Structure 1
Amino acid sequence: MTATGTTLVIGATGTTGRRTAAQLTAAGHRVKAASRQATPLPGAEPVRFDWYDPATHSAALDGVDRVYLIPPLGESDPAAVMLPFLHRARTAGVHRAVLLSSSAIPEDGPAVGAVHRALPGLFEQWAVLRPSWFMQNFTGTHGHALSLREDGTLWTAAGSGRVGFVDAEDIAAVAVHALTDEHAPNTDLVLTGPEALSYDDVAVIITEVTGRPVVHRHLSYEQMRDRLAALMPPTFAAMLAGMDRAIAEGSEDRTTDTVLRITGRPPRTFRALLEKEMPWSS
């Protein structure tokens, strides 16, 4: 890596943002950690940022030459919110942008796919990270982690479909390289862990590592949609249930060498992640 200017990490208290900010500062890079509450993080300059409050954008961009972009959570049309900020960022002197997208959403896809399509026309240097499902979904505050803590059950409509679950620490490590490497390519990177696992496999591994029995309950698309609709807007529930259905059809049954190729070390396995982060730890 080479020395850089200042990186704005948007969503710096989130799953990948917090880890990206920490890895950047540990490597000696200057970081502005952006969050709605301007939460202090070790080694970083806290700054208030709200996608929906343009009054917070100028101070966040002041002195910044690169940015890590976490789309606004739950936003059905992130491009409408993000593109005005990205145009402003380019005018302010940002020349490199790294966007967190999803393996389920290609460049020509909906939602954040529109932001993906816009990046090459906005910034001299760019990268889009498209990770598979996070391993931390089973250890943090995701619905899967909550149901594991409550009664040792995973509920999905994914059937026996497999997913290349990826550790958020590995996503952050790739993000750091994409933000700071001198000759980082303008590229679209699909990130996975080292193995593709079904939710039945996940239940077995959690049981073996923790000693607590875990079961995977197979739901239909409609059952999953209705279960989620009790917790969130119906359109978002239908989208998430549809992602499970796509997994059942094989959409995420793959692994890539991205983490190894970019960072020089292999991605962490799900078993190794669990040995560090127990699903029901506080």
Structure 2
Amino acid sequence: MIVITAPTGNIGHRVLDHVLAAGRPVRVVVRDPARLSAGVRDRVEVVQGSHGDPRVVARAFDGAETLFWLMPTDHHAASVDEAYVGFTRPAAEAVRSRGVGRVVSVSALGRGTPYAAEAGHVTASLAMDDLIAGTGAAFRALAMPSFMDNLLRQAGAIKEQGAFFDVMSPGGKRPLVATRDIAAVAARLLLDDTWTGQAEVPVLGPEDLSYDDMAAVVSEVLGTPVRYRQIPAEAFKDRLTGSGMSEAMAQAMVDMMIAKDRGLDNGVVRAPENAIDTPTTFRQWCEDTLKPAVRAL
């Protein structure tokens, strides 16, 4: 039995599709089963509730061999540590008590760099990994850079202002990955019953790009000029809190972006297998995903 958390999210639903296509028995943990398509609901065992709830995870992990662990987004948490480690603690106990053999988790790049200790969400994510590793289960932490798909949040600004915005410097090159490639890597691990031990798996995408590089690609794909505009960290934080994010989570986001700008995501050297495992280029993603989204507005 493979258990999948967050099965309706951008990554989780893709992982679920891969695992179902392989014909493996699947159990999902979901707050609202109505968000699953009828075809999916008929093919999975559903445990309704939050995967931060001790009773829910105890039930969901019973008899499970492998777990896909994906944190939900909590913009209102009182602290980033509580959002990650506090939320995960019941699941870690259930992994141990129910004897789950393997765990695949979506995590972050940065371990071993000088910037990981004050990197907000990334620091908390790495602490979450340590908690899961402490269960003794075989463990693979998928170490992620930023997602290409995050740019969809600025589709409106791209169309209306010909620009997208962030706090990082325009020229620094960093890895970038598409969520569809993340899901494919995760599914391969979930379907493989042979791996043991504990390790990070860097999921880097096929190329490093700066924000200026990205703006040039977006301009070419959309056929209209698009610029990247760097904004002050405080202005970025004000936007986050203005949209309802808690002070603590907004500051954690700012801290993460500053750490990324300093090189948090550049501590792993890209290997040939990274381009094989995560082949989607930013240009291809823009053609397939961003362009239709901008044109639909």
Q: TM-score, normalized by length of structure 1?
A: 0.85
Matches for 1:14-25 after TM superposition, within 5 Å: 14-25=9-20
Per the TM alignment, residue 126 of structure 1 is displaced from its structure 2 partner at its CA by 0.9
Matches for 1:1-282 after TM superposition, within 5 Å: 6-38=1-33, 39-41=35-37, 42=40, 43-74=43-74, 75=77, 76=80, 77=82, 78-104=84-110, 109=117, 110-139=123-152, 142=153, 144-159=154-169, 160-185=171-196, 186-231=198-243, 232-253=245-266, 257=270, 260=273, 265=277, 267-279=279-291, 281=293
Using CA pairs below 8 Å that are at least 6 residues apart, which structure has the higher relative contact order?
Answer: 2
**AA of the residue aligned to 2:26:** V
- Distance in 2 separating the partners of 1:197 and 1:48: 40
**AA of the residue aligned to 1:114:** A
Instruction: From the two aligned structures, give the one with the greater helix fraction.
Output: 2
- Distance in 1 separating the partners of 2:10 and 2:271: 19
CA offsets per residue over residues 22-73 of structure 1, 9 Å max, x none?
Answer: 1111122222222210232534333313034334334422432211111232
Unaligned residue ranges in structure 2 (runs of 5+): 118-122
Once the two structures are overlaid, the 10-residue window that deviates more, 80-89 or 124-133, is 80-89
8 Å Cα contact 2:14/2:180 also seen in 1: yes
CA offsets per residue over residues 203-233 of structure 1, 9 Å max, x none?
Answer: 1111111223322111122232233332222
Q: TM-score, normalized by length of structure 2?
A: 0.81
- Distance in 2 separating the partners of 1:129 and 1:106: 15
RMSD between aligned alpha carbons? Answer: 2.6
Unaligned residue ranges in structure 1 (runs of 5+): 1-5
Runs of 4+ in 1 over 6 A off after TM superposition: none
- The alignment covers a number of residue pairs equal to 273
What's the % identity of the aligned pairs? 27
Cα distance change on mapping 1:19 and 1:63 into 2, 3 Å: same
